[in-house]
């Protein structure tokens, strides 16, 4: 359904944080990639001295607070630290792009010093403020302090009982959107979309990645942090955004459809190949595994999930990024869903004011009903166990990752039925008070036409039942009994998944078996550290292999650089990995490569702790060329890859990939792709 707002068309406004730069053939040349973010200005010596002096004072206050054992101090210390780290890291990495940003950083440090004194006295007055409030939280991924902005409605009372609607707003692409700039912008105003009656929350999203990977986890951590201090109505949370923020909104709408009462994506992109062809004029030549991995973030593949999430799309009539909503409309139509598409007349890359009025009107109507937690009908598709849940349906096993899995389920009076595709393990779950069944009778479950009698609901009105397919493809009640490794939720790969949870880069202290491997692994280690900061805005935990103990093994994904000769942790587990790496060869089944000329990249459950990953010789797998357009920022390698070291690392990869593949659902090697 297309709705064109008919009104005066001379007035429109933009909601992009910065001009969109990734928009033409100049950014399609892999051998000539501009740096993102660009190197900032040189700070004048006197200004640097002033800022460093106040930063040292703030650091001293933070150090003092870190030794304070009061729970409230430790809980709210990130609200102080956020002002220190934004200014200190932007100064250290030359990320002030205009002179006024230095002044903004000084102002932020003064705010941090004021909060530090308040916290020392046991006070946290910013928690009770209305209007714009800058908050900080410590990310579990890398321990960094990440900022976000919350706009607290004027009528909010901290001691009240009313729960409030909350809109998450995703910002547009901003290649100079440093932490300092983000905080300064959000302190000035809410942006083009604002509210005085409900919460508006702006995640930083770890810079300019369309809220993918660590940027995706940022939203989940922001929500968790927000709910500790504010009464947020879980049934009235919306995801919203424009431009790159519209792309973020699309992916949150399809991946977490059961969490939101509405989604309002504007412009942006919703998939990889067609957008890059139409918007970027790019000629694509993906490998077979890259094409499969597009399915992680291509929202078109997950369109049916919007059955669970009311969606209001927006586009300017003459905006090239209207393509994002148009292609989603096409894919939704294939599922029998007619998409609401509000179009700003004769509008380019902006939100037309009358369109915004219509969007807000529809959101207000949806707010009255709120999210439907336990719908009677569910239509759910996924390609990975990373995104394995929809309302009361949870997919626990797949026949094959990165192929479509689907569940179409229905509730009846005392029964439940589901038709599945590419699903081997499934759980239906209703927590306390929510089971829609009679307590006195068993629930009859029909899976793909096979009828199974499950247990009765419990006395607290909860009900849960799991099922698995046996070797004869027959559904059986209960969880799968076999032991051994299997791909499960948050332990399913690919390599990039390791960087969506807590990780440590582990540097080798020894010498690799071959100088070529030594040079390459050290170079990739340095690249991973530098680019984690540059693109995902954190300071990664870095330890030597000799420093890794039980705490690190139990708490973190270990990212090991080196080979079995140079990295002691890798040496300890090398014989337990499915790909063997000796001084002579790298061996994957019947395939072998000369170890003096090749390197190994891999993700696998850590043999020392199979509930965590171990990764070999890789940070996140997209590189500098992909920074130029957010639609390119998708996984570039599957579960393992062998690298020809005769080709140096470049803007698109760590060298020449001579072979790469996924492990099977039991984390074992598969036959070569061309033989399957």
The helices-and-strands tally (H runs, E runs) of the chain is 15, 29
Angle at 150 between CA 144 and CA 155, to 5 degrees: 150
User: Quick one: pLDDT at residue 3?
Assistant: 58
Rounded distance between C-alpha atoms, residue 283 and residue 632, angstroms: 12
Residue 518 CB coordination number (10 Å) = 18
Residue 18: which pLDDT band, with cuts at 50, 70 and 90? very low
How confident is the model over 226-272, as pLDDT tens digits?
999 999 999 999 999 999 999 999 999 999 999 999 999 999 999 99
Rounded distance between C-alpha atoms, residue 58 and residue 110, angstroms: 8
Is residue 208 within 8 Å of residue 174, measured between CB atoms? Answer: yes
Domain assignment of residue 358, yes or no:
no
Residue 533: which pLDDT band, with cuts at 50, 70 and 90? very high
For residues 415 and 454, membership in a common domain is answered with yes
Strands 591-594 and 598-606: unpaired
For residues 420 and 523, membership in a common domain is answered with no
Q: Mean pLDDT, to the nearest integer, of 421-447?
A: 97
User: Quick one: pLDDT at residue 675?
Assistant: 87
Q: How many C-alpha atoms does 312 have within 13 Å on its Cβ side?
A: 24
User: Quick one: pLDDT at residue 1?
Assistant: 59
For residues 502 and 455, membership in a common domain is answered with no
Strands 2-4 and 541-544: unpaired
User: Quick one: pLDDT at residue 2?
Assistant: 65
Straight-line distance from the first to the last Cα atom of the chain, in angstroms, rounded to the nearest whole number: 43
Q: E strand or H helix at 224, and its extent? A: helix 214-227
Spacing of C-alpha 19 from chain mean position = 23
Residue count (the chain): 676
Rounded distance between C-alpha atoms, residue 463 and residue 376, angstroms: 15
Q: Mean pLDDT, to the nearest integer, of 303-317?
A: 98
Residue 185 CB coordination number (10 Å) = 19
Is residue 665 within 8 Å of residue 401, measured between CB atoms? Answer: yes
pLDDT higher than 90, residue 25: no
In terms of phi and psi (left: phi > 0; alpha: psi -120 to 50; beta: otherwise), the region of 210 is left
DSSP annotation of 413: S
The alpha helices in 415-505, defined as continuous H runs, are none
Is residue 261 within 8 Å of residue 190, measured between CB atoms? Answer: no
Domain assignment of residue 579, yes or no:
yes
Q: E strand or H helix at 62, and its extent? A: helix 45-66
pLDDT higher than 70, residue 19: no
Helix (H, G, I), strand (E, B) or coil at 264: strand
Instruction: Report which of 190, 144, 145 is spatially closest to residue 171, judged by C-alpha positions.
Output: 190
How confident is the model over 330-357, as pLDDT tens digits?
999 999 999 999 999 999 999 999 999 9
Rounded distance between C-alpha atoms, residue 631 and residue 247, angstroms: 9
User: Domain tally for the chain?
Assistant: 2
> Which residue, of 443, 477, 511, is where some domain finishes?
477
For residues 543 and 466, membership in a common domain is answered with no
Sheet holding 463-469, edge to edge: 389-390, 393-398, 423-430, 463-469, 475-477
Is residue 221 within 8 Å of residue 146, measured between CB atoms? Answer: yes
**Mean pLDDT, the chain, whole residue set:** 95
pLDDT higher than 70, residue 16: no
pLDDT higher than 60, residue 7: no
pLDDT higher than 50, residue 9: no
For residues 502 and 598, membership in a common domain is answered with yes
For residues 658 and 574, membership in a common domain is answered with yes
Rounded distance between C-alpha atoms, residue 500 and residue 387, angstroms: 13
How confident is the model over 78-118, as pLDDT tens digits?
999 999 999 999 999 999 999 999 999 999 999 999 999 99
Q: Mean pLDDT, to the nearest integer, of 473-496?
A: 95
> Which residue, of 415, 450, 477, is where some domain finishes?
477
Rounded distance between C-alpha atoms, residue 480 and residue 458, angstroms: 22
Structure tokens, 79: 């609200």
Q: How many C-alpha atoms does 183 have within 13 Å on its Cβ side?
A: 28
User: Quick one: pLDDT at residue 615?
Assistant: 98
In terms of phi and psi (left: phi > 0; alpha: psi -120 to 50; beta: otherwise), the region of 367 is alpha
Q: Find the domain containing 559 and state its range.
A: 495-675
Q: How many C-alpha atoms does 585 have within 13 Å on its Cβ side?
A: 9
Instruction: Report which of 286, 258, 296, 272 is spatially closest to residue 403, judged by C-alpha positions.
Output: 296
For residues 503 and 473, membership in a common domain is answered with no
Rounded distance between C-alpha atoms, residue 676 and residue 668, angstroms: 14
Domain assignment of residue 625, yes or no:
yes
Instruction: Report which of 328, 356, 363, 324 is spatially closest to residue 342, judged by C-alpha positions.
Output: 356
Instruction: Report which of 482, 459, 391 is spatially closest to residue 430, judged by C-alpha positions.
Output: 391
For residues 626 and 549, membership in a common domain is answered with yes
Strands (E), 455-548: 463-469, 475-477, 503-507, 541-544
How confident is the model over 645-675, as pLDDT tens digits?
999 999 999 999 999 999 999 999 999 998 8
> Which residue, of 477, 504, 526, is where some domain finishes?
477
Instruction: Report which of 643, 28, 644, 484 is spatially closest to residue 276, judged by C-alpha positions.
Output: 28
Domain assignment of residue 329, yes or no:
no
pLDDT higher than 60, residue 513: yes
pLDDT higher than 80, residue 621: yes
Rounded distance between C-alpha atoms, residue 481 and residue 488, angstroms: 14
Asked if the peptide bond before residue 365 counts as cis, ω within 30 degrees of 0, the response is no
For 336, counting Cβ atoms within 10 Å of its Cβ (0-12 exposed, 13-18 middle, 19+ buried), the class is exposed
Instruction: Report which of 545, 557, 573 is spatially closest to residue 498, judged by C-alpha positions.
Output: 557
For residues 500 and 536, membership in a common domain is answered with yes
Is residue 268 within 8 Å of residue 242, measured between CB atoms? Answer: yes
Domain assignment of residue 607, yes or no:
yes
Residue 23: which pLDDT band, with cuts at 50, 70 and 90? low
pLDDT higher than 90, residue 26: no
For residues 458 and 502, membership in a common domain is answered with no
User: Quick one: pLDDT at residue 6?
Assistant: 33
Q: How many C-alpha atoms does 291 have within 13 Å on its Cβ side?
A: 6
The pair phi, psi for residue 586, each rounded to 5°, is: -110, 125
Instruction: Report which of 468, 525, 520 is spatially closest to residue 642, judged by C-alpha positions.
Output: 520
For residues 464 and 523, membership in a common domain is answered with no
Percent of the chain with pLDDT over 90: 94
User: For every residue of 526-593, which 3-state class applies, written as one string?
Assistant: HHHHHHHHHHHCCCCEEEEHHHCCHHHHHHCEEEECCCCCCCHHHHHHHHHCCCEECCCEEEECCEEE
Strands 340-344 and 377-382: unpaired
Domain assignment of residue 5, yes or no:
no
Domain assignment of residue 563, yes or no:
yes
Please name every residue paired with 594 in a beta bridge, in sequence order, or none if there are none.
585
Asked if the peptide bond before residue 37 counts as cis, ω within 30 degrees of 0, the response is yes
Strands 312-316 and 415-421: unpaired
For residues 550 and 617, membership in a common domain is answered with yes
Q: E strand or H helix at 395, and its extent? A: strand 393-398
Percent of the chain with pLDDT over 70: 97
User: Quick one: pLDDT at residue 20?
Assistant: 44
Domain assignment of residue 568, yes or no:
yes
Specify the pTM: 0.95
């Amino acid at each position: 359904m297309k709705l064109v707002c008919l009104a005066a068309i001379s007035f429109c406004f933009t909601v992009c944080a910065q001009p969109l730069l990734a928009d033409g053939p100049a950014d399609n040349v892999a051998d000539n990639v501009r740096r993102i973010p660009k190197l900032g200005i040189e700070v004048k010596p006197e200004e640097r001295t002033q800022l460093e002096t106040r930063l040292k004072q703030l650091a001293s206050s933070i150090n003092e607070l870190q030794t304070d054992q009061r729970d409230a101090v430790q809980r709210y210390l990130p609200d102080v630290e956020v002002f220190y780290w934004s200014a200190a890291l932007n100064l250290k990495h030359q990320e002030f792009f205009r002179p006024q940003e230095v002044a903004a950083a000084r102002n932020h440090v003064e705010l941090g010093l004021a909060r530090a004194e308040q916290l020392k006295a046991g006070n946290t007055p910013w928690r009770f403020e209305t209007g714009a409030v800058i908050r900080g939280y410590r990310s579990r991924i890398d321990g960094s302090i990440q900022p976000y902005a919350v706009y607290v409605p004027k009528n909010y009372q901290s001691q009240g009982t009313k729960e409030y609607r909350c809109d998450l707003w995703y910002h547009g692409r901003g290649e100079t959107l440093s932490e300092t700039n983000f905080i300064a912008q959000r302190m000035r105003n809410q942006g083009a979309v604002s509210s005085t009656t409900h919460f508006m929350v702006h995640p930083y999203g770890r810079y300019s990645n369309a809220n993918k990977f660590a940027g995706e986890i940022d939203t989940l951590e922001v929500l968790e942090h927000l709910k500790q201090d504010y009464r947020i109505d879980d049934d009235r949370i919306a995801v919203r955004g424009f431009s790159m923020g519209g792309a973020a909104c699309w992916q949150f709408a399809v991946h977490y459809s059961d969490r939101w009462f509405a989604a309002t994506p504007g412009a942006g992109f919703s998939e990889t190949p067609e957008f890059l062809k139409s918007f970027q004029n790019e000629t694509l030549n993906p490998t077979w595994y890259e094409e499969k991995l597009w399915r992680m973030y291509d929202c078109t593949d997950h369109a049916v999930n919007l059955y669970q999430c009311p969606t209001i799309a927006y586009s300017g009539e003459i905006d090239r990024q209207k393509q994002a909503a148009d292609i989603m409309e096409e894919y939704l139509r294939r599922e029998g869903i007619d998409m609401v598409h509000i179009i700003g007349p004769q509008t380019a890359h902006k939100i037309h004011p009358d369109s915004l009025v219509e969007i807000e009107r529809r959101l207000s109507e949806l707010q009255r009903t709120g999210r439907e937690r336990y719908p009677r009908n569910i239509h759910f598709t996924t390609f990975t166990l990373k995104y394995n849940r929809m309302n009361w349906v949870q997919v626990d096993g797949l026949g094959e990752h990165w192929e479509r899995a689907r569940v179409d389920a229905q509730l009846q009076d005392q029964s439940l039925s589901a038709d599945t595709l590419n699903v081997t393990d499934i759980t239906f779950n209703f927590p306390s008070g929510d089971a829609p069944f009679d307590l006195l009778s068993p629930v009859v479950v029909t899976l793909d036409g096979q009828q199974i009698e499950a247990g009765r609901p419990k006395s607290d009105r909860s009900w849960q039942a799991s099922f698995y397919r046996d070797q004869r493809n027959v559904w059986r009640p209960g969880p799968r009994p076999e032991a051994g490794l299997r791909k499960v939720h948050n332990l399913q790969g690919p390599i990039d998944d390791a960087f969506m949870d807590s990780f440590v880069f582990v540097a080798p202290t020894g010498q690799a078996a071959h100088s070529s491997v030594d040079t390459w692994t050290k170079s990739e280690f340095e690249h991973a550290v530098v680019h984690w900061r540059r693109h995902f805005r954190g300071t990664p935990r870095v330890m030597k292999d000799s420093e890794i103990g039980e705490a690190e093994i139990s708490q973190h994904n270990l990212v090991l650089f080196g080979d079995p000769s140079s990295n002691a942790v890798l040496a300890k587990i090398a014989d337990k990995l499915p790909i063997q790496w000796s001084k002579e060869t790298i061996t994957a089944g019947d395939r072998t490569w000369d170890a003096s000329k090749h390197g190994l990249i891999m993700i696998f459950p850590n043999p020392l702790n199979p509930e965590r990953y171990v990764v070999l010789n890789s940070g996140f797998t997209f590189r500098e060329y992909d920074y130029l357009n957010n639609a390119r920022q998708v996984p570039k390698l599957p579960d393992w890859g062998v690298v020809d070291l005769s080709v140096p690392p470049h803007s698109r990869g760590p060298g020449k990939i001579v072979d790469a593949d996924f492990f099977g659902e039991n984390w074992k090697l598969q036959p070569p792709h061309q033989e399957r």
